[in-house]
Amino acid sequence: MSTLQNFADRVRPDRVLELTRRLVSIPSVVGNETAAMEAAAAVLKPTGATVSILARTPERPNVVARLQNGPGPCLVFNGHLDTVPPGNPELWESDPFQPAQRGDRLFGLGALDMKGSCAAMLHAVELLAAHPEAWRGEIQLQLVCDEEDSGHHGTRYLIELVQAGALPRPTWVIGGEYSDLRVMNAERGSFKFQIRFEGRSTHTATARVDGVNAIRHASMAVLALERDLTRYHPEVGFPVISINKIEGGKHLSQVPSECVITVDRRLILGEDKTSALDEVRRTLDRLAQEMPGFAYEILELRDSFGRERYGPPNATPRDSAVVKAVREAHRLVTGAAPEWFVDWFGASDGRLFRYEGIEMVTYGPSGRGAHAANEYVEVPSLTVQARTCVAATILLLQSQEPSKDGGA
Ligand SMILES: [Zn+2]
């Protein structure tokens, strides 16, 4: 294990910081990722990796770097270089596109989500490329676009290339979304749908005579549905139901005949869209019994590519080789076993690999303010992440020493 420790120690914190600063200083708001991809490709080319720009359409590129060293498993590191927009610039204490360091914190848009992490993985690949004696098989770094939107041009596209045989099928994937250096082996699912409430229009003056106000019924439904769900799963935490949109009403003096609410439901392992809808119907059917004229229907929601807005909860077993390797690597690097990351995480590209049957684990840096003003990453956590990536790779792809009798 001391060799492993030696390799992990070769990670250069100054290099990780330099790469983080470089990526943060290149704006890459989702939809405009090209310049950041070109910068990442320029870092990867000197390592000797085969660097490809892979794109469904030219203006939405991804960078895939492949290091190949004989037959063996394929370990993929995956991170996204796109960010959400900076929001109101007045709320930022420094320019969101100018990395600004205060103490151990590096501020900037995407510093945490997830350019710092991409920099840590880039440097891990630089180091592993220089030491092919330490591993066998293939190491791949995927830097993708479009994670903050649908993933259609990013990880989804790369998985289609795997399905088509144009990229090797990953044996394991390590995703670098920020996780406070904790290990996340599972994600909640997400299910978005709408409920339409139907009333009966009339003049406000006769509202109490023959009107049925759809906004009133929708409001009763919102109050009944929007509550804490207390079931708990030890690998993904609590489910969530949140009513995030409401639309209804047309005219100031007309009782509304229609109101539509949009529901975002996060599902824990053991739940699916059928069980979630059954639960909603039970609540609404109870209201219908109490309120004459209460009528609703559930509407399906699809994204702009026609996909259902549903992704089931997903997990990689905690005893999978990649989960165990990341845990062991973190322990070697920090001297302590990592914690599990369980509560309140959103959906990442990691789920797309699990839906494809590929074992995937998330492990990334610490910081705060993702998708908000004054986002920052804790710089020392990036060094730990890079070291853990190096050590986990060697654990998973350890080279087979030739045996004495000449066999390989
Ligand atoms: Zn992210």
- Segment 155-175, tens digit of pLDDT: 999 999 999 999 999 999 999
Query: pLDDT averaged over the chain?
Result: 95
CA 119 / ligand 1 centre spacing (Å)? 14
Backbone angles phi, psi at 190, to 5 degrees: -140, 140
Q: Does 38 score more than 80 pLDDT?
A: yes
* pLDDT band (50, 70, 90) for residue 408: very low
Q: What is the mean pLDDT of residues 331-344?
A: 95
CA 225 / ligand 1 centre spacing (Å)? 29
pLDDT for 404 equals: 41
Per-residue model confidence as pLDDT tens digits over 270-300: 999 999 999 999 999 999 999 988 999 999 9
Per-residue model confidence as pLDDT tens digits over 345-377: 888 999 999 999 999 999 999 999 999 999 999
Q: Does 403 score more than 70 pLDDT?
A: no
pLDDT for 264 equals: 97
Q: What is the mean pLDDT of residues 221-235?
A: 96
CA 81 / ligand 1 centre spacing (Å)? 8
How far is residue 70's CA from residue 284's CA, in Å, rounded to a whole number? 60
| Distance linking the first and last C-alpha atoms of the chain | 22
Residue 37, both tokens: 């991809």
The answer for residues whose C-beta is within 8 angstroms of residue 265's C-beta and 6 or more apart is 190, 191, 192, 193, 239, 240, 241, 242, 276
**Range with lowest mean pLDDT among 102-106, 114-118, 179-183, 402-406:** 402-406
Q: What is the mean pLDDT of residues 94-123?
A: 98
pLDDT for 4 equals: 85
Q: Does 197 score more than 70 pLDDT?
A: yes
Q: Does 1 score more than 60 pLDDT?
A: no
> Would you list the domain boundaries of the chain?
2-185+316-396, 188-300
CA 401 / ligand 1 centre spacing (Å)? 38
Q: Which CATH architecture has domain 188-300?
A: 2-Layer Sandwich (3.30)
pLDDT for 308 equals: 94
Q: Does 119 score more than 60 pLDDT?
A: yes
Q: What is the mean pLDDT of residues 112-118?
A: 98
Q: Does 400 score more than 80 pLDDT?
A: no
Q: Does 386 score more than 70 pLDDT?
A: yes
Residue 198, both tokens: 């139907």
Q: Does 401 score more than 90 pLDDT?
A: no
DSSP state of 234: T
Partners of 246 in beta bridges: 261
CA 6 / ligand 1 centre spacing (Å)? 30
Cα 92–Cα 102–Cα 333 angle in degrees, nearest 5: 120
How far is residue 132's CA from residue 134's CA, in Å, rounded to a whole number? 5
pLDDT for 95 equals: 97
How far is residue 51's CA from residue 46's CA, in Å, rounded to a whole number? 10
Q: What is the mean pLDDT of residues 20-49?
A: 98
Same fold, 2-185+316-396 and 188-300: no
CA 348 / ligand 1 centre spacing (Å)? 7
Q: Does 405 score more than 60 pLDDT?
A: no
| 2-185+316-396 CATH, one of 2.30.30.100, 3.30.70.1730, 3.40.50.800, 3.40.630.10 | 3.40.630.10
Q: Does 251 score more than 80 pLDDT?
A: yes
DSSP state of 391: H
CA 397 / ligand 1 centre spacing (Å)? 27
What are the residue numbers of the active site?
Answer: 82, 147
pLDDT for 399 equals: 72
CA 371 / ligand 1 centre spacing (Å)? 9
How far is residue 316's CA from residue 351's CA, in Å, rounded to a whole number? 10
pLDDT for 93 equals: 97
Q: Does 180 score more than 80 pLDDT?
A: yes
Q: Does 402 score more than 70 pLDDT?
A: no
pLDDT for 292 equals: 86
